[in-house]
Amino acid sequence: GNSVTQMEGPVTLSEEAFLTINCTYTATGYPSLFWYVQYPGEGLQLLLKATKADDKGSNKGFEATYRKETTSFHLEKGSVQVSDSAVYFCALSPANTGKLIFGQGTTLQVKP
């Protein structure tokens, strides 16, 4: 079946620290992969995406590379800010299904 596993949180970092949030997936076929971010009291925002192996998605200093050999899509940012504090969801979409399968979410807290 299709599933997404994210590292458990909360992840607490100091401002300007390096961020990695691990995401691994199980899927049949060739899914598309996504990171969404949810700030407190808001809906989900698409952060970045990758649609095929070795694609790198990037946005607002965040990056993730679609690694088919390790079935991973880890989120990284070189220097986090307090404003990055949010819940981050890794998600996959199996081809042609129209569905998003989410991981459990990882809460990031960045302290000044």
Partner 1 sequence: DTEVTQTPKHLVMGMTNKKSLKCEQHMGHRAMYWYKQKAKKPPELMFVYSYEKLSINESVPSRFSPECPNSSLLNLHLHALQPEDSALYLCASSQDGPGRGFFYEQYFGPGTRLTVT
Residues that bind partner 1 (CB under 8 A): 32, 34, 36, 42-46, 49, 51, 89, 91, 93, 95-100, 102-105
Shortest CB 25 distance to partner 1, Å: 14
Residue with smaller CB distance to partner 1, 5 or 78: 5
Residue with smaller CB distance to partner 1, 13 or 44: 44
Shortest CB 37 distance to partner 1, Å: 11
* Locus of tokens 């599933």: 3
3-class state of residue 28 by DSSP = coil
The pairing of beta strand 56-59 with beta strand 62-65: antiparallel
Shortest CB 89 distance to partner 1, Å: 6
Which helix (H) or strand (E) covers residue 21, if one does? strand 19-21
Backbone angles phi, psi at 33, to 5 degrees: -125, 145
